[in-house]
Copies of this chain bind each other. A is one copy, B any other.
């Protein structure tokens, strides 16, 4: 059995209050008493029981984090930020995966409540309205990091998808491209992330009096690809010189397809991605893409959660817009040369 504050008090021949005072540095203690207490702590290898502390202070220094799937690359990257900021403020992370099951999310929230977490961060693809209601009802500080939606703007860390899309398009135009197609994930189009990317594309194309050419795809499953491949072939026939893909995976699939056909990127077609995921580090040709700073997303979310817990005013940073950046690599050809 681990030693308790009583053991220390007995050994140091003081009351437990005195021991408490030295470990918390909460009130003055005579040097002599402090010395004896410290010594006893050392000998007994005593460490305070945080559970007991939490009970009396009604504060657990715990943040519950509910994620879709911890095994996902971007989720784990976000968690880096969450964890690191949490640790800075002595908060620990209680981690749970919901695998997209709304009921499981509700349940996890309840478990976390019972464990007296100070706040909850939810990282998911689908917004769980019931969960939000419940968290509100419990008056539990919470932040929702959502890859797609931002309906609950006040709850969400925003990402400037539209402006970075504009920037990418401007870059392509600057490189001499005029006939630029966009490839968008159809199944995600109702999600604002994809919408904003599309909006950025459309805006810049319109500004420059260029003709839109949008390729929708249902996904990257085998069955979806045939359709897409036809569209890619068509685009090339139409003289498209650059393809703005809304996700890295789409870009890479396209490049793979072109490669199978004997076409080279960027010689025969320029392709850009979106995400800056790990695989773009190792894939060749090196993909020109947009890097999303997942770490920052997590860090900001945690900071805001902690502020909410401390009841600080968060109204002034209500809408955090995270910086995205374009990584210029090897898949865009300079047509001006």
Within 8 A of B (CB), among A32-77: 45, 47-52, 54-55, 60, 65, 69-73, 75-77
Closest B residue, CB atoms, query A255: B284
Cβ of A83 within 8 Å of any chain B Cβ, yes or no, is yes
Stretch at the interface among A110-118, A221-229, A309-317: A110-118
Partner of A97, one of B83, B113, B114, B252: B83
Task: Please indicate the chain B residues that have their CB under 8 angstroms from the CB of A72 in the complex.
Answer: 76
Partner of A282, one of B94, B113, B252: B252
Cβ of A259 within 8 Å of any chain B Cβ, yes or no, is yes
Closest B residue, CB atoms, query A104: B87
Task: Please indicate the chain B residues that have their CB under 8 angstroms from the CB of A47 in the complex.
Answer: 110, 113-114
Task: Please indicate the chain B residues that have their CB under 8 angstroms from the CB of A87 in the complex.
Answer: 96-97
Partner of A96, one of B49, B92, B138, B279: B92
Q: Which 8 A-B pairs have the closest CB atoms?
A: A76-B76, A256-B284, A279-B279, A50-B114, A71-B80, A93-B95, A95-B95, A50-B115
Closest B residue, CB atoms, query A111: B92
Interface of A is mostly: helix
Cβ distance A319 to chain B, nearest Cβ, rounded Å: 26
Cβ of A243 within 8 Å of any chain B Cβ, yes or no, is no
Cβ of A133 within 8 Å of any chain B Cβ, yes or no, is no
Task: Please indicate the chain B residues that have their CB under 8 angstroms from the CB of A111 in the complex.
Answer: 92
Cβ of A79 within 8 Å of any chain B Cβ, yes or no, is yes
A216 to B60: give the CA distance in the assembly, Å: 50
- Contact B54–A80 (Cβ < 8 Å): no
A156 to B233: give the CA distance in the assembly, Å: 52
Task: Please indicate the chain B residues that have their CB under 8 angstroms from the CB of A96 in the complex.
Answer: 83, 87, 92-93
- Contact B92–A92 (Cβ < 8 Å): no
Cβ of A7 within 8 Å of any chain B Cβ, yes or no, is no
Task: Please indicate the chain B residues that have their CB under 8 angstroms from the CB of A83 in the complex.
Answer: 70, 95-97
Cβ distance A230 to chain B, nearest Cβ, rounded Å: 19
This chain: copies in complex: 2
- Which residues of A are at the interface with B, using a C-beta cutoff of 8 A? 2, 45, 47-52, 54-55, 60, 65, 69-73, 75-77, 79-80, 83-84, 87, 92-97, 110-111, 113-116, 137-138, 249, 252-253, 256, 259-260, 278-279, 282-284, 295
Centre residue among A72, A256, A282 by max chain B CB count within 10 A: A282
Cβ distance A121 to chain B, nearest Cβ, rounded Å: 12
Centre residue among A48, A79, A113, A115 by max chain B CB count within 10 A: A115
A2 to B51: give the CA distance in the assembly, Å: 18
A295 to B96: give the CA distance in the assembly, Å: 15
> What are 22 A-B contacts defined by CB distance under 8 Å?
A2-B138, A45-B137, A47-B113, A48-B114, A49-B116, A51-B60, A51-B116, A55-B55, A70-B83, A71-B80, A73-B73, A76-B76, A87-B96, A87-B97, A92-B96, A94-B94, A94-B95, A256-B282, A259-B284, A279-B282, A279-B283, A283-B283
- Contact A84–B110 (Cβ < 8 Å): no
Cβ distance A62 to chain B, nearest Cβ, rounded Å: 8
- Contact B80–A76 (Cβ < 8 Å): no
Task: Please indicate the chain B residues that have their CB under 8 angstroms from the CB of A84 in the complex.
Answer: 97
Partner of A93, one of B75, B94, B278: B94
